[in-house]
Amino acid sequence: MTDRKERVLSSRHAYRGRAVHLRVDRVAKPNGKETTREVVEHVNCVVIMPVDSKGNILLVRQYRHAVDKDLLELPAGSIDPGETPEEAATRELREETGFKPKRLEGLGGFYAAPGYCTEYLHFFRATQLERSPLTAEDTDEIEVVPVSPADVPGLVASGQICDAKTIAGFRIASL
């Protein structure tokens, strides 16, 4: 296979925010042409598919400012410094649903938007849930919504589930 790696000629941060940084790289492509790459730097994250004792999947409904609406999603969140993906998955699940898994199964992962973003999402299935709430910033308005797996295709088709990480997570879990 031909080497497709681009060589970074210069790099600068155009913006540094709380959740994301925007880096602008000037690169030389393997064919010698130069171009600009804008890269959103974001920490890696976890996505969790919690399955309750009845076989329902616990989704969360929460407001997303960027799209100005409530979305129905799998619980997810950032991996804090020093945390393993497994530790982050357990913490996020406790914060967003109030449940802690006795069993956490890693099912792989994926890049959110590799054309412009560094974020990698680790995907887990959580089972044998026990009540164990953990309070966190920005989770007080989250609504937990148990959903039958049989209802998921209809929720996606109707647009009620329209979050890419959630749709990708359901696909991974079905493999």
Residues marked active site are found at 141
Sign for the CA dihedral angle at 76, 77, 81, 87 comes to negative
User: What is the token pair recorded at 91?
Assistant: 């913490």
CA distance 148 to 152: 7
User: What is the token pair recorded at 52?
Assistant: 């309750």
| 51 DSSP 8-state letter | B
What is the rounded (10 degree) CA torsion for 47, 77, 110, 165?
Answer: 60
| 55 DSSP 8-state letter | S
